[in-house]
Structures are given as structure tokens and as C-alpha cells.
Amino acid sequence: MIEFSLRIEPKIISSILPELGKYFSKSRELEDFEKTVPNFDEEDLKEMWIEGLKDDRKKDRNALAKLLESPRLAYGRVEVADDDINELLRGLTELRFTIRKTSLKQITDEELESGLHELSSTKPEIRIGYFAYLILAEIQERLIQEIS
């Protein structure tokens, strides 16, 4: 089991957690496996490929749901079973992509990576998305450090 504390204030985490739940729900709506399917001649192969992707995604989402539903997360504590690490990393990436495609779509990659300098003058949706993105990024980075 990997355990660590986030360096983000628990007040921020607990205020963003409900929003992370909304993004989690929204991420399912953005699912599109058709774009990732190689060009198969046989329809059966295509269906098997898509089913495999769906099964993997379900595991990723389950690992992410465990994290988001953990009562300790609101206090900045992250606990991940060893068996869930890879799935959680993929689930976190998916959720960050969802935030990127929705709330942060108007922000450039450079602004996102260097920090939003005018955060107080941005729309609330962008601020919430930004903080949600940062929380997920820290969890991912810390998990990667722990397994390296």
C-alpha cells in the first residue's frame, strides 16, 4: 500500500472534491473508443478490441472512484493499494484530460504548466478546473515518485 499526504491545504481539497465528482461523471460522456481502434478487416476483431478497452477503462475508473470516495482524501491523505496503482494512474490521466477538454479548454498548455498568473480574474469554472487539475497532478506525480 502506498500512502502519502498532499501538499495542498485540506480546505481547498474538500471544496474541490465535489467538483472532481462532477468531472468524473462527465468523463464517461466523453468516452469514444472508435477513434482508438486500428483498421481491422474483421468486425469481430474490432468488437473485441473495443470490449478490451472498455474493460480496462472500467478498472481504471474503479480505482479512481476508490480514491475519490475515500474519506481521508478530504484531509489530504492518499492511500492506494498496490494492485490499483497502474489503473489509478490511467484513471487520473483520463480525469485530467476531461478537465482539460472542458473547463480548461481556453487555457494554453504553457499557461497551464507555468501557472495561471491572473487566477483571481479568471472565470470561476476555470479556477475550479485549475485547482482540480492541480490536485490530480500532484497525486499522479507523488504516485510516480513512490513507485520509481
- Strands (DSSP E) contained in the chain are 2-5, 77-80
Binned at pLDDT 50, 70 and 90, residue 120 comes out as: low
Closest Cα to residue 17, out of 128, 138, 101, 96?
128
d(CA 28, CA 24) in angstroms, rounded, equals 7
pLDDT of 55 higher than 80: yes
d(CA 40, CA 27) in angstroms, rounded, equals 27
> What Cα–Cα distance (Å) separates residue 52 from each residue in 46, 104, 144?
10, 30, 25
Distance spanning both ends of the chain, measured CA to CA? 14
Binned at pLDDT 50, 70 and 90, residue 29 comes out as: confident
pLDDT in tens, 57-115: 899 999 999 999 999 999 999 999 999 999 999 999 999 999 999 999 988 888 887 77
Mean of pLDDT values over 114-132: 80
- Sign of the C-alpha dihedral, residues 66, 70, 76, 82? negative
pLDDT of 36 higher than 80: no
Q: What is the pTM of this model?
A: 0.86
